[in-house]
Chain A
Amino acid sequence: MADFLSFTVIGVAVGAIYAIAASGLVVTYATSGIFNFAHGAVGMFAAFLYWQFRWDWNFPAPLAIFLVIFVFCPIFGALLERFVMRGLQNTMEITKLVVPIALLLLLTGSASWIWGDPIPETLRRFFGPDKKITIGDTFISWHHIIVLIVAVLMAAGLYVVLYKMRIGVNMRAVVDNPELTQLNGGRPVLAASFSWMIGTALAGLAGVLIGSLQNAAINNLALTLLIVDAYAAAIFGKLRSLTLTFVGAIVVGLSISYWNWLSDTGQKWTWLSGFRISIPVVLLVIVLILLPHERLRGAVVSRFKERFSVPTIPKAALWAGVLVLFFAAAVPIAQRKPEALLSTGLAFGIIALSLVLLTGYGGELNLAPLTFAGIGAVVAYQFEVNITKGHINESLSIWGLLLAAAVCALVGAIIALPALRLRGLYQGLVTFGFAIFVTNMVFKQRRTLHFNLPWYGDGEDFEINIFTGGGLFVPRPNWFGIDFRISNSNYMVFLAVVFALIGLGLVALRRSTYGRRLAAMKDSPAASATLGMSLVKMKLSVFALSSAIAGVGGVLYAAQQGASDENSWVITASLPLVLLTVVAGVGYVSGAFAGGILTGVFFVMLGDVFLKLSVDYSAFEWLFTDVVKDFFIFVGPAFAAISLATSPAGFLNDMFDNYRPLTSRRGLPLLSAWVVFQGLFYLWRITDGIGTWTFMLVSLGVALLLPAIAQVIRPDLYIDAKTLKQRREELPLELVGVDRPITAQDVKQADAALQLPVGVSDNDGRS
């Protein structure tokens, strides 16, 4: 009984922290329609800041709390609303998801950049770890009691703000109907700003409380994910009801605590030891599945400017050839490390191709491509261990690769089942929860599981040991008489060929009947269904196919690395890949390539550039290594998301517009001149006339400047492109005034369209 009481108190206390975090999420979502994926990261950052004030600089606890929760967090929240979130109105669902993800990466990256990771110091409980009171046989720590008191105060405070104060009425009105609120003199902008201040402060409060509760060295990713556990509670409240959110939070807290009790804090059923951390996401997925069926609605895509053109198959084949040629040409000049980096980039690119199919073509979401990739790698590894019986140093078997693809397809189809009923944010959350579950339950599994399959072998056990030794080994192939195992160059070209083939296959698929149906489903599920499409079959098939591609990419990535560990496949590794692919252009095969290269190569290489500078200029070593290099490695990917503001369809879309005139008949001489120059320059390099760095920098520079050079030499080439761009930026008449203010030109245009005589409207557009 005493145990029951203490586990209940602990459960309620943890639940109370989740309630605080989840309420913050609900308050911001309700007023702005943006699910702040970075909520957990904000809490983590606040906890780190608290550590800085309290334990590094030894401020008194009340002052430290005041600075973090009442100064830093609200200011940060207001800035976030003003400069990031406000711009996300009327953008595509994926953009609304990806920008907060960028913020998450920015915060976790910044924490690593500023404090290192983990902070060697401990975030201690309030009043110390040993201060507790005794009720009967039960001990309750002061920290838990404080948490409970704070939660109750917070609930009362929120109630007063939302229901008794003018600003709260304003906020609730915005939730119900922003336009009407504005017409009635309410101020939606003020309400949004205020709600982000509150939301951020609540995230910070939860971060400080839960960080201190751990009473251990704090790790930024672990702390971020700890607050992510509160998402289940927020979804339980349907992102609207604070009462239900509180109930959900307490349920999550108690479930974890009781599981600890039942499983003897993980001592019993050791292979289930990861389950405790998975409980919140399991609850999250259950709640998502039980949510009422979402009504079929159109995607209202006509409002958005994210549109992707599809290349013809011959053109795609040409580009596939160019890609392979490029990597083949890199072989004589690249050294071992760049080759390994480029191979990693290509493998990431193959995994990102799964996103092109799923999100770019099909409009469905998966935030965890690397989880599927990891499953692929594990399957291929198991195949080597169990089927080929330990000849793991031989070569990758094609059957292992195919089995990996098949298993991933099956898992993808299973994940699609809840996703069938969900769209956008909720679908993203299912994949997010799935990633955390698989990481805890499968990738972190250290125990060997034995299965005795009666119909298999001669009574041997089927063994599954995943990462038993902390890593898994997937061999590289030895196919078509070419050995890819020792030669990095061979393997890099092999990966380029695989990427080119799958990419070409995707373009062909998009141009097929299936591809058109996929586009139809993406653009308007409602219209597709009323034309006779079974959305169930369509979604299952596209999830399965895309997961299979991710699985193949995963096997090849694992083989590239040699031995890979669980950290290769975690959600925090997936997010940058998703982000950078969307930033490049998720509707294009080249977007996957750029996403992969940016993730695997670009930021690491930038880091290397500064490392080299730090060697050359040792006086500035501190600046180049600790500041600039770490900045690019930790924070760089997040900054890439800024380009989404100007290029929602990805920066490649704009690049294509700039290069396209060169491929026209009139532009061909210029293009040929460049190809000849590049060829000669390449010859100069391989005859050792110049060094690799010079070659790379000049080639890259000329390639990037090519459109600008072309514009100077042949300005006539760009006239068409400019008009094209102008036309693209033109708004449909009915959106003028909604998306931008009405100009005199618009009034003239409208008059003409309505066949009104000249002079009916005055200059201000009033009729």
Chain B
Amino acid sequence: MAAVDVLLDVQGVTVNFGGNRAVDDVSLPVAQGSLTGLIGPNGAGKTTLFNVVSGLLSPSAGSIHLEGRNISKLSPNKRAHLGISRTFQRLELFTSLTVRENIQVAGEISRRMRGGYSHIQKETDRVIELIDLGDVADSEVTEIPTGLARVVEMGRALMNNPKVLLLDEPASGQTEEETREFGKLLLRLKEEGTTIFLVEHDMALVMSVCDKIHVLDFGKIIARGEAEEIQTMPEVLDAYLGSHEMI
């Protein structure tokens, strides 16, 4: 793969929590326009890596590059200005605001959203329609089910016109039917040109939408490849289930 095609590049990232090494020398390229998956058992260090990429956590070693530029020293908001958006595994919704306001305020915060108030309103309507939240748009975010709340977080992240969208377990809390629809939505976003970096436990979803999958276990990348390759790798099966059965 040519270097220019790498949009987001994680290079040699290590994170220590006290004496505990949560992420260990992880290097991971996310190609422009790809839908890249990151899987691994609970506690493997996936969310920690997302925190490093989005700037909420400083790594003990290593660096993060966006379009070839080293962004390791930048604050989270500056990274957002450059086009990194994310959702959170533990929901981080704005609970004093309605669903619509959650999405709208993201546009009002974002510097990548050009145009005035009416433009932001239009964009809000567009995103709400895109992610199909019209029915609950005026509800309080505390009143909607967790599965939908994750979609709201994604809509919020989309208002930043991201170059790369980091999704942290977006499908957990969704029904099977919702997850299938969600998979289609991810593919549509990818077609529109958004690069997506996905952490997910729902293997069916990951295997069906991701171009490339990285497997993290005890803070280390133990395997990477396309969906079919990953599913047959014995080390992945061991790490995941302790058995040779995956889905």
Residues of A within 8 A of B (CB): 295-296, 298, 300-302, 307-308, 513, 516-517, 519-520, 522-524, 526-535, 732, 734
Contacts and interface: CB of A to CB of B under 8 A. Distances in A.
A527 B160 contact: no
Contacts of B109: 517, 520, 528, 531-533
B142 interface: yes
Interface residues of B, number: 39
A513 B76 contact: no
29 contacts: A296-B76, A298-B90, A300-B90, A307-B96, A513-B105, A516-B97, A516-B105, A516-B108, A517-B105, A517-B108, A519-B97, A523-B94, A523-B97, A524-B93, A526-B56, A527-B92, A527-B93, A529-B55, A529-B76, A529-B77, A530-B54, A530-B55, A530-B56, A530-B85, A532-B77, A532-B80, A532-B110, A533-B109, A734-B146
A530 B106 CA distance: 10
Contact of A295 (B56, B81, B142): B56
Contact of A298 (B86, B88, B101): B88
Contacts of B95: 301-302, 307, 523
Nearest to B97: A519
* Chain A contact surface mostly: helix
A509 B56 CA distance: 29
Contacts of A524: 92-94
B112 A527 contact: no
Given A527-B156, A531-B160, A532-B112, A520 B94 contact: yes
B111 interface: yes
Given A517-B105, A527-B88, A532-B110, 5 more contacts: A308-B96, A516-B105, A524-B92, A530-B55, A532-B80
A375 B96 CA distance: 33
A113 B3 CA distance: 77
Q: Which 4 residue pairs spanning A and B have beta carbons closest together?
A: A532-B80, A527-B92, A529-B76, A524-B92
Contacts of B55: 529-530
B80 A531 contact: yes
**Residue of B92, B117, B146 most packed against chain A (CB within 10 A):** B92
B195 interface: no
A532 B92 contact: no
A581 to B, nearest CB: 18
Contacts of A295: 56-57
A535 B96 contact: no
B91 A532 contact: no
B4 to A, nearest CB: 26
A528 B55 CA distance: 12
A546 B35 CA distance: 45
Contacts of A732: 146
Nearest to B120: A513
Nearest to B166: A530
Nearest to B83: A532
A734 B112 CA distance: 36
B160 A523 contact: no
Interface string B105-123: 1101111100001000000
B86 A530 contact: yes
A443 B91 CA distance: 46
A534 B57 CA distance: 16
A401 to B, nearest CB: 32
Contacts of B57: 295
A29 B76 CA distance: 31
Contacts of A296: 56, 76
